[in-house]
Structure 1
């Protein structure tokens, strides 16, 4: 007799169920949970993570909540938010973030990520690009331009209209985003780590491939 109440087979996903483009990157390590590459031309680290457990993000639907959530995470490391957004990749709501964290000596580390959540697992693509060598050139050039245009005021104590969280002008903790970090300046500084991180995460989001089992996973409801 056939068992009409047979349990539905659980769909299982793996690290290699998600494929991101390999455009000449150098693979530096791989295990069951992550693949790591470096982009030697752009001094960037690219990582594809697989977490075989419930996602630790609070939501993939409430953008205002996500902005607060990642703003506080960045500030806890004395950093700041550059971008928080919900993007749809192959019709799956994903969380995209870009934050900056001050490095020990000088300059910033820019970390761009996309979290692809499901009910019982998640993938995270992370790119880290650090300022090396002479730092602050982008900031200085744009600051000088905006100051001369009267858009930024500088006095002995502070700079007005230069540092600001992109979503909450009243938030003052951490190292806030500055006007030079707006995306509209990336084309002027294509080798800047923020431009690199932003370009790479955009390219990956547009070209990522999901294998069949990914499309059958139970969705993330929150």
Structure 2
């Protein structure tokens, strides 16, 4: 197999435990976990970027929690199909990147969630996005139920989101519970993200490109 050029694969990382599927996709043969690297000309659609991370966090949290309605303004969805859990400005091999962690309901399934951990490296004329997808494909809801029991009850998806207390948030999604549930897909998503941050190598040609600016 020919070696990928830096334009096609500007990021390399530790793929221990993963098998190469094709192009820039890898998978875990023991489950449905998938890692995908996309490179394209689409740039982030935001008036803010990593130099305004607090504003960007709130903007992204609302983007995932809002659904369009028939009136002049959108409305918060009390049961959104996707929810931003984390967003931060991080450094991958000396290159500034946006890290996000999103929880999504599995399509066409009554229960279960998919967790996407992503790193977005944006330049003036292209964007590289490395995403790990970790699916809840066996017993779902166990983490949520046990955490609610340990916290003394309480309903699901109460307010208290870390980026806006008015947005819904599942208490069991807090990273403090990852150690108790190491095989849960959310815990695995965060562990994979840590591995990427420690092992990622960004091509020097990509680093040298002009940076992305919103203004």
Identify the residue that residue 54 of structure 2 maps to in structure 1: 64
Identify the residue that residue 90 of structure 1 maps to in structure 2: 93
Q: 2:166 aligns with which of 167, 170, 176?
A: 170
Q: Which of structure 1's runs of 4+ aligned residues deviate more than 6 A?
A: none
Relative to structure 1, the CA distance from residue 13 to residue 29 in structure 2 (aligned partners, 3 Å threshold; closer, same or farther) is closer
Q: Secondary structure at the match of 2:9?
A: helix
| TM-score of the pair, normalised by structure 2 | 0.81
Relative to structure 1, the CA distance from residue 161 to residue 131 in structure 2 (aligned partners, 3 Å threshold; closer, same or farther) is closer
| TM-score of the pair, normalised by structure 1 | 0.79
Give the structure with higher Rg (CA). Answer: 1
Identify the residue that residue 130 of structure 2 maps to in structure 1: 125
Q: 2:18 aligns with which of 19, 22, 25?
A: 25
Residue 39 of structure 1, CA deviation: 1.5
1:40 aligned onto 2:29:
yes
1:73 aligned onto 2:63:
yes
Aligned length: 193
Q: Take 2:206 and 2:156, find their aligned partners in 1: how far apart are those partners?
A: 48
Question: What's the CA shift string for 1:31-87, capped at 9, x where partnerless?
Answer: xxxx11111235311011111x25224222211232133213322462212101111
